[in-house]
Amino acid sequence: MKPDALLRGALLACALAWAGAAHAQPWPAKPVRLIVPFPPGGTADTLGRIVVGKLGDTLGQTFVIENRSGAGGLIGSELAAQAKPDGYTLVVSGVASHVLAPALAAKAPFDPLKDATHIALLGGPPAVFAVHPSLPARSVKEFVALARARPAELSYGSPGNGTMGQLVAERFKKLAGIQVTHVPYKGAAIAVVDVMAGHIQSLSTTLTTASAAIRSGRIRALAISSDARLKDYPGVPTFRESGYGELVATIWFGLSGPAGMPPEIVQRLNAEVQRVLRLPDVRERLRPDGFEPNAVDADAFTRFVAAEIQRWGPIVRASGARAD
């Protein structure tokens, strides 16, 4: 064999060996992109940053957060669904983006079951209905009486059309027989600011986003949608206690990715997320917002998403809510 042929053969062998070694590199071998399909400052953003901050420390890689909000979470979630399923693009999924928004859309751009790999359930807070402190209503009963006395004069803000905040409030309005004008926002954080400023009289959103304002007394919580009162908010009754037993709901979030992700990466991420959610500092950080760890594997989480679609889909479509 000629020397130049030997040289080419050696170079090819080296290239193939290098390619094989690179392919065999354990995940994650480079930074991981986490898409948050909602604006900064909301529950999805806060929770995502807490969890992947810990994951980055353990896995030895950076998680780059990318907020891609719009259409109730559909824009960012579709982007994740279209990504290569190699474990380097993940998304903070949730009841809003993977259950409510697809049910509201005339034609959803992705299938929340067929086009996604559901990795781990992060849990979630209840919804809270709160008012500006100047409003003469210290209970749900008093708010209903005030709204009946001033039909269509009061307003409430939500994180946007088709969100759980709107659905809980609209169901409450229907059950109570009151007229309160809905003011949709582009995210929960802005709605909280406006109710603190008195631009709107009330608010229906996740407890996580409103918790700091509630604890500081800048807004007054009238009811939460949890099954029972929360230890950190002993003075805030549930909707059930207030006579609205249908209003039990969790605004849950999860970690998901494109369909077809390697099972070994899914299993590792699920185990690591469960570990993170059990850490004392994480539990202490999330407990005041009504979070509890959810120790379920990826298959159980996928079944949970399917059950939520069956539960909320008909309710969403019958509610008259419209997506942004």
At residue 138, the 3 state secondary structure works out as coil
The pLDDT score that the predictor gives to residue 24 is 56
**Domain 127-224 classified CATH 3.40.190.10?**
yes
Confidence (pTM)? 0.77
Is it true that 32-124+252-319 and 127-224 share their CATH fold? yes
The pLDDT score that the predictor gives to residue 33 is 98
The pLDDT score that the predictor gives to residue 240 is 96
* Residues of the chain predicted below pLDDT 70: 1-24, 293, 319-324
The pLDDT score that the predictor gives to residue 19 is 46
Task: Show me where the domains of the chain are located.
Answer: 32-124+252-319, 127-224
- List, for residues 139-180, the tens digit of each pLDDT value: 999 999 999 999 889 999 998 887 889 889 998 999 999 999
**Domain 32-124+252-319 classified CATH 3.40.50.11890?**
no
